[in-house]
Amino acid sequence: MKIRSTTVLAVKHNGSISIGADGQATMGNTVAKSNVKKIRKLQDGKVVTGFAGSTADAFTLLERFDEKLNSYGGNMKRAAIELAKDWRMDRYLRKLESMLIVADKEDILILSGTGDVLEPDNGIAAIGSGSMYAQAAAQALVTHAGDLDSLKIVEESLKIAADICIYTNHNLIIEKIS
């Protein structure tokens, strides 16, 4: 599934995890809104999520994910796996066009409608149209500017993606998970 119209990036580096997204929403090739908040805190800020794709679909999935978190005592990995199962098997959910990045103080996961729950090997996860630009920038910053914290890496990487990807803008929201 190729999701256009946003960039979401999460980075685990030097003992911290940050997740951020741009604020652009498009309808076709037109900018519909420039300050959409695509980052959400769940479980009193212990879990932070970002979404790419249809906003209504993403909110449906975020609601379900929050329910799963509550059902499994805040265990993010278990909740993600259970959501992915439902997303893949349920006729209604299967049609939702969105992807999620979820993160807590220890882990980052990417969730998709094909049943994927992926934990990135390098501590960098990206989704959306500008994801490869942001991911490449983050990888370079992690490798060559090791003294930066995760929040600064996410910020600089999203700025680079916004300079390249026409579906990504510079209105950034970034959260550092404590």
Q: Which residues are catalytic?
A: 6
Q: What is the DSSP string of 127-138?
A: EETTHHHHHHHH
Q: How far is CA 48 from CA 31, 84, 140, 147, in A?
A: 26, 17, 24, 24
List the 124-128 sheet strands across, edge first.
124-128, 7-13, 16-21, 173-177
Cα 84 → chain centroid = 15
Closest among 138, 128, 112, 110 to 165, alpha carbons compared: 128
- β pairing state of 39-42 and 47-53: antiparallel
Handedness of CA 26, 29, 34, 39 (dihedral sign): positive
